[in-house]
Amino acid sequence: MEHILGNDWIITSAGGSTGEAYYAQGERKRLFLKRNSSPFIAVLSAQGIVPKLVWTKRLENGDVITAQEWLEGRELTSEEMRHPKVAMLLSKIHHSTELYDMFVRIDKDPIQPYQVYQNCINQLNELIKSIEVKKALDWIETMLPMVENNTIQQVVCHCDMNHNNWLLSEDGQLYLIDWDNAKIGDPAIDIGMILYNYIPENEWDQWLESYGINGDQELLNRMYWYLFIEMINKHEEVTKQHKYKEAAQFQQELQRLLSRVIGC
């Protein structure tokens, strides 16, 4: 990165799983740099969803470097995910026609529930499939026609609602960062991740009101459908890695969700 900015900048790793993000400190400016960031970062920046995009540069090898404002701020805590600002920003994202159109132009394939279901089935080890996984798969298969309903409005889903991806600046501006896994799909994907993981059930209606919709059983079933898929996939992943303690935790979480959804 030094050859891009010059010797007057101090560049340090910003961490992360890819190792492609950096902090750059100059005499009068600070930047957040990322290699091959989301191609729609300009739209996200223009709408105030991510910190302001300062510039982009394409390197000779084809890589694209983006520079955004480096803001003083912090990640949201788990408890702060209950704040109406989170619901309102997510609603803004889901209702953004500019963001949706950009995804369509760059050929972002929408999430297809049947393919999601098949991928989940194909990666399972039949020899270690637990009773909980079998029950969840039966429910997923039963609900598949409802989830595939063509009348469900497709939106841009972030697909990773971890509280660490929500950045609150010192001036109170809320941002949603790390868009590498975003896809076009059912808004219930994002909504379910937040409600189930962060919001007490007796506050779901209030949170959904801040988002701008009324919750009903169909929305809940779609949320649960994607949550079951996510839990099964994670359970299978850690099992294959011989992380049996984590696998047991996911199995317990799966049982709790089964008890909530189908009472068993």
Q: Give, in order, the Cα–Cα distances in Å from 66 to each of 62, 129, 162.
A: 13, 44, 23
Rounded to whole angstroms, the Cα distance separating 222 from 196 reads: 12
Pick the catalytic residue from 109, 138, 160, 190.
160
Helix, strand or coil, per DSSP, at residue 170: coil
Query: How many other β-carbons are positioned within 10 Å of the β-carbon of residue 196?
Result: 21
Provide CATH 3.90.1200.10 ranges for the chain. Answer: 75-262
Superfamily of domain 75-262: Aminoglycoside phosphotransferase (APH), C-terminal lobe (3.90.1200.10)
Q: Are 224 and 257 in contact (CB under 8 A)?
A: yes
Q: Give, in order, the Cα–Cα distances in Å from 118 to each of 3, 90, 154.
A: 46, 28, 20
User: What are 183-192's pLDDT values in tens digits?
Assistant: 999 999 999 9
* pLDDT greater than 70 at residue 241: yes
Rounded to whole angstroms, the Cα distance separating 45 from 157 reads: 16
Q: What does pTM read for this prediction?
A: 0.88
Helix, strand or coil, per DSSP, at residue 167: strand
Provide CATH 3.30.200 ranges for the chain. Answer: 2-70
Instruction: Kindly indicate the confidence band of residue 3, based on its pLDDT and cuts at 50, 70 and 90.
Output: low
Tell me the average pLDDT across 224-253: 92
- 10 Å CB burial of residue 86 (0-12, 13-18, 19+) is buried
Establish whether 160 is a catalytic residue.
Answer: yes
CA atoms within 13 A on the CB side of 42: 7
Whole-number percent of the chain with pLDDT over 70: 93
Tell me the average pLDDT across 71-85: 95
Residue with token string 């089935």: 121
Q: Give, in order, the Cα–Cα distances in Å from 216 to each of 1, 188, 205, 242.
A: 50, 12, 9, 39
* pLDDT greater than 70 at residue 15: no
Tokens of 171: 């001036």
Q: Tell me: domain 2-70, CATH 3.40.50, correct? A: no
Cα–chain center distance at 161? 4
